[in-house]
């Protein structure tokens, strides 16, 4: 099995999703990478936002859904997780980092847009203190940015390759908590289905891929997944 997860698996850890009924995009407009690069004011706003969201994500704990997925991994039945999430909760629930593809990066680190410098977000945020002035790369002086992928920013080709390999080599593809409207991430469940996998979608709301799926469950992940995985591995 391969798990493909979205923001919906983490709402039960207290992290809001983007497009569910209480989603973030109902309140704010997303910023593109082009806007980030062009405007110091936008960057200041983004760093102020990162300080607030980092605290929330850093203190979040894996929930029953993440733990059920990790249990499946320990039982040797899970090839890996392809996630759109940026919160690191699959890893903290016990799935090893090398088995998780973070298609949209991670909020737990900061990257330079000009060189390969990466640092833990906590180190950079501590250095910033109370200031929201955008920090520069200590190696090359370039622009630092959250380790997440912004709108208009390319996904890492290595992550795309790994996600493609996982999606083409499993016989069961389990989608957990994704609206499946974000491209190119939403091509992976289609790819898995074309490669012969059964497709299961567990999501509170309908998705555009429901018709393609072999089984669709419109219920909360924390309710449905733990008993299903328990009976599958015991």
Q: Write down the least CB distance from residue 37 to ligand NAD, Å.
A: 20
Least Å distance, CB 139 to ligand NAD, is 27
Out of 58, 104, 218, 230, pick the active-site residue.
Answer: 104
* Residue whose C-beta lies closest to ligand NAD: 8
- Looking at the Cβ atoms of 147 and 177, the one nearer to ligand NAD is 177
Which one, 11 or 93, has the nearer CB to ligand NAD? 11
Q: How far apart, in whole angstroms, are the C-alpha atoms of residue 193 and residue 202?
A: 16
Q: How far is the CB of 74 from ligand NAD (least distance, A)?
A: 22
Contact 106, 90 (CB under 8 A): no
Q: What is the DSSP string of 105-159?
A: EEEEEEEESSSS-EEEHHHHHHHHTT--SPPBPTTT--BEEEEEPPBTPPPPHHH
- CA-to-CA separations, 158 to 96, 103, 154, 155, in angstroms, rounded: 18, 10, 11, 9
- Report the alpha-carbon distance of residue 42 to residue 39 in Å, rounded: 5
Shortest separation between residue 229's beta carbon and ligand NAD, angstroms:
15
Identify which of residues 35 and 153 has a Cβ nearer to ligand NAD in the complex. Answer: 153
**Can you give the binding site for ligand NAD, defined by CB under 6 A?**
6-8, 10-12, 15, 17-20, 23, 84-87, 104, 177-179, 182, 203-205, 220-222
Count the Cβ atoms, other than its own, within 10 Å of residue 50.
Answer: 21
Kindly tell me which of 17 and 119 has the beta carbon lying closer to ligand NAD. 17
Whether 104 sits among the annotated catalytic residues: the reply is: yes
Residues involved in catalysis:
104
């Amino acid at each position: 099995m391969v798990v493909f997860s979205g923001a919906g698996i983490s709402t039960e850890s207290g992290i809001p999703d983007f497009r569910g009924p209480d989603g973030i995009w109902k309140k704010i407009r997303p910023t593109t990478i082009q806007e980030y690069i062009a405007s110091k004011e936008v960057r200041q706003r983004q760093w102020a936002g990162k300080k607030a969201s980092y605290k929330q994500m850093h203190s979040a704990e894996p929930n029953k859904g993440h733990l059920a997925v990790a249990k499946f991994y320990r039982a040797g039945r899970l090839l890996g997780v392809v996630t759109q999430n940026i919160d690191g909760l699959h890893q903290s629930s016990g799935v090893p980092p090398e088995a998780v593809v973070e298609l949209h990066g991670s909020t737990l680190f900061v990257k330079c847009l000009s060189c390969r410098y990466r640092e833990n977000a906590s180190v950079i945020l501590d250095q910033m203190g109370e200031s929201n002035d955008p920090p520069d790369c200590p190696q090359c002086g370039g622009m630092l940015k959250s380790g997440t992928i912004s709108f208009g920013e390319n996904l890492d080709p290595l992550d795309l390759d790994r996600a493609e390999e996982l999606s083409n080599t499993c016989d069961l593809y389990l989608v957990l908590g994704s609206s499946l409207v974000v491209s190119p991430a939403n091509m992976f469940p289609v790819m898995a289905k074309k490669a012969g996998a059964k497709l299961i979608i567990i999501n509170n709301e309908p998705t555009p891929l429901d018709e393609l799926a072999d089984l669709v469950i419109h219920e909360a992940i924390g309710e449905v997944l733990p008993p299903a995985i328990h009976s599958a591995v015991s």
